[in-house]
Structure 1
Amino acid sequence: MRSPPRILTLILLTGLSTVSLNMFVPALPAIAAELGTSYATVSLAIAGYLAVMAVTQMVMGPLSDRFGRRPVMLGALACYVVAASGVALSGSAGAFLGWRMPMAAITAGWVVTLAVVRDTAAPGKAAAIMGTISGAMALAPLLGPLIGGVVAQVLGWRAIFALYAVAGALMLALCWRDFGETRKPAPREPLRASARRLLGDGGFWAFAGCTALSTACFYGYIAGFPAVSEARYGLGEAATGAALGAITGGFMCGAFVSARLAERAGLTRMMLAGRLCAAGGLAGGLIWALAIGPLSAPGLVASVMFVGLGNGLTMPSSNAGAIAAVEGLAGSASGLLGALTVALGAVVTAGVAALVATRPTPAMLLATLLALALAALGAAVIAHRRG
């Protein structure tokens, strides 16, 4: 089967990968209560899952280069269905966590999607396609917890994982019919030689660094804003949630623009535009907070919306550049890119939360995010100069 998957299939795969991380979060207290364990223990279903997800991406990418995109995707979906079913039937915290971790196989949905886009399109066109996919899948982190909360309240937390299993089975059936092999036949290269080519390529690291640092800026806001909200603004949970979601709205707008301009503008120009947008919005808010007067909650959110907009402009192009940097290793590059992004995001989340907790002010949060945005801009400049 050689016909490439339709873009709707790729959007659904990446969306399932995203909601698999967060849709069950509202049910964590109920899970802990029913399984007779602590909230901290069941929370490992998030933190531990992220760690496994990073490793899984590094494995799935090279496997898809060696054996093909289709078998890796089908195998990952089959593993996901079995694991989600196991979680739904688990009777102890150990079983819950033991079955939860193999669900990380669904990260192949993102890793293999990036490789498929690279297989079937030149870098500029690939960035435009990724803009479309990213804009659509941005709905997943917004809708996932909402759907999960309703399902848990009406049917119980096990129904969420049953829903995961059903969704995975439907995706498996869809991919069986609409996920043709796109990897171009090529002589198999020893893994050590492949790794040396990828790890030694400066262009890959410039593009990947831009993606990882841009994403880290998003994670930093998610980690730091609740502390600022509580200490300075006294916002309720609903208002805080809306403020956190605003950055995703900005991302969707940026991805929409990328889908239409990336092919004409070029990868590195889109990246530079996005990073300047993010840094400019943060710098404006920081200058206001330091030189003019206290920054209101809407002012802070408005500043950070430029991060979302900038990421939407940047990341389709930086992703496309990273996976196209080394010929014949799109899957491996995609896997390493994903692992790097997750790992840096985890470090930044912990670091920003600790830093802002010591001084929960808008200026501190904006200064921290601006440092990350400027680092991402530096990576974009390096990529532009190399290009």
Structure 2
Amino acid sequence: MTATRDAHLPDAGRTVRRPMLVTLMIASALSPLAINIFIPSMASIARDLVADEAIVGLGLSLYLAATALIQLLAGPLSDRYGRRPVIIGGMVLYLVGTVMCLAAADVVLFLAGRVVQAASATGIALSRAIVRDVYERERAAAMIGYVTMGFAIAPLLGPLIGGTIDTAFGWRMVFWLLAAIGIVAIGLLFVDLNETNPERGKPMRGQLANYAALLTAGSFWNYAMVSALISAVFFAFLGGAPFVAASLLGMTPAEYGLWFALCAAGYIIGNFITAQLSERLGIKTLMVAGSAISMGAALLSLALVGAGWLSPLTLFGPMFLVGIGNGLATPTSTAGGVSVVPHAAGAAAGMMGALQIGTGALASFAAALVATRHGGPIGLLALMSVFGLGSLVAAMLVRRVRHTA
């Protein structure tokens, strides 16, 4: 678990020096941090660059689209050239994009910088692939649980940090902070990360063929759908809840941020439970439990709101359980998915990450439409329940396997 301990993997007969978990956590958290930290600054950026706020808002949607695409490319590239050069290269591009945003005098350069910034998504996909390289399947689920805590911490702290810095120093200082964190991430990766992929060097044609192997592997799709649909419960809430909170509950952005911390806290707890119990209980048990908890929480909120008890507690309280469910199901489904075709772990991680982000973006958009036009909070919570049910069905279809080569 440290940088000085070697991982002896019997399935591959090799010894690989494991990177520190903090290195992978920072690499994994950088992209979601860059997504969330700039959101409070969109109005400031629009004023400074004399641009429409809707155009500046493309800095979020373009970033998400680029994130999905980059994860698809990062996987096979890392299987071909190795994890280390691809993840470091992505972080260097992220730094270039951040400098472009800092130097922007118009919205065009700013948006271009946001697209280049999205190269940090290599950290999302490849940190998981690296974990699978150096840990056996069940233990990998535990370690991915620790690594993905960044996904909870970044959305929780990002808007608070970004809004505070923008108010005190202006929006460009937010990007100076992102640049500093990027430099730290690159330094850690250079010093701490050795190459962990023993099968690199195959022609790209063969690496892209790994996608064909994954597309025809039914078990991979079971894991991938658990990952995508359990995340869709969370993303749907992100897309619809702000409208409900503002229009029906009269909540301020600060109040929304404080209540939303319940979901992030639940996610951290769920990840910790996964890290402690994945080897003992197996990943299928935790996937099923996490999906059931998330679906049950959405149904609970739906029942309470449907009975006329709409309040911050009935809307946000069950999200604590949704967070726990995500913390149980996301790392375990990821560990299972990247283990289906071991020599294509990078491609699998990239495909799962792209599917997760893509499904999340669609869920967020659909939830916004439902919450504002077709059903309000009832429609939003019903949609979340449907996603939770889909995740539970996919989890139950996974075959129980204790160990894999």
**Aligned counterpart in structure 2 of residue 225 of structure 1, from 231, 241, 247:** 241
Following superposition of structure 1 onto structure 2, how do residues 93-242 of structure 1 map, counting pairs within 5 Å? Answer: 93-185=107-199, 188=202, 190-242=206-258
| Paired amino acid for 1:218 | F
**How many percent of aligned residue pairs carry the same amino acid?**
34
Tell me the distance in 2 between the aligned counterparts of 1:238 and 1:166.
Answer: 26
Question: Counterpart of 1:48?
Answer: 62
Cα–Cα, structure 1 residues 232 and 94, in superposed 2: closer, same or farther, change >3 Å? Answer: closer
CA RMSD of aligned residues (A): 2.0
Question: Counterpart of 1:243?
Answer: 259
Give the conservation status (yes or no) of the 8 Å contact 1:225–1:244. Answer: no
Compute the displacement of 1:283 (Å).
Answer: 2.4
**Aligned counterpart in structure 2 of residue 355 of structure 1, from 345, 363, 370:** 370
Deviates more, 1:221-230 or 1:85-94: 221-230
Tell me the distance in 2 between the aligned counterparts of 1:353 and 1:131.
Answer: 29
Give the conservation status (yes or no) of the 8 Å contact 2:231–2:356. Answer: yes
**Aligned counterpart in structure 2 of residue 59 of structure 1, from 73, 89, 104:** 73
Question: Counterpart of 2:357?
Answer: 342
Cα–Cα, structure 1 residues 7 and 289, in superposed 2: closer, same or farther, change >3 Å? Answer: same
Compute the displacement of 1:122 (Å).
Answer: 1.1
Deviates more, 1:295-304 or 1:37-46: 295-304
Moved over 4 A (4+): none
CA distances 1:132-175 after superposition (whole Å, capped 9, x unpaired): 12235421111112222222223222222222222212221221
| Paired amino acid for 1:170 | V
Cα–Cα, structure 1 residues 284 and 90, in superposed 2: closer, same or farther, change >3 Å? Answer: closer
1:25 paired with 2:48, answer no
| Paired amino acid for 1:269 | T
Tell me the distance in 2 between the aligned counterparts of 1:46 and 1:52.
Answer: 10
Cα–Cα, structure 1 residues 239 and 170, in superposed 2: closer, same or farther, change >3 Å? Answer: closer
Compute the displacement of 1:384 (Å).
Answer: 3.6
**Aligned counterpart in structure 2 of residue 88 of structure 1, from 99, 102, 107:** 102
TM-score, normalised relative to structure 2: 0.90
Compute the displacement of 1:101 (Å).
Answer: 0.7
TM-score, normalised relative to structure 1: 0.94
**Aligned counterpart in structure 1 of residue 270 of structure 2, from 247, 254, 258:** 254
1:374 paired with 2:374, answer no
1:283 paired with 2:309, answer no
Cα–Cα, structure 1 residues 174 and 288, in superposed 2: closer, same or farther, change >3 Å? Answer: closer
Give the conservation status (yes or no) of the 8 Å contact 2:76–2:208. Answer: no
Tell me the distance in 2 between the aligned counterparts of 1:231 and 1:28.
Answer: 21
Deviates more, 1:98-107 or 1:274-283: 274-283
Question: Counterpart of 1:300?
Answer: 315
Tell me the distance in 2 between the aligned counterparts of 1:259 and 1:278.
Answer: 19
Structure with greater proportional helix content:
1
Give the conservation status (yes or no) of the 8 Å contact 2:79–2:199. Answer: no
Question: Counterpart of 1:310?
Answer: 325
What count of residue pairs does the alignment treat as equivalent? 386
Tell me the distance in 1 between the aligned counterparts of 2:209 and 2:242.
Answer: 46
Query: Which residues of structure 1 form unaligned runs of 5+?
Result: none
Deviates more, 1:294-303 or 1:59-68: 294-303
Question: Counterpart of 1:8?
Answer: 22
Compute the displacement of 1:48 (Å).
Answer: 0.7
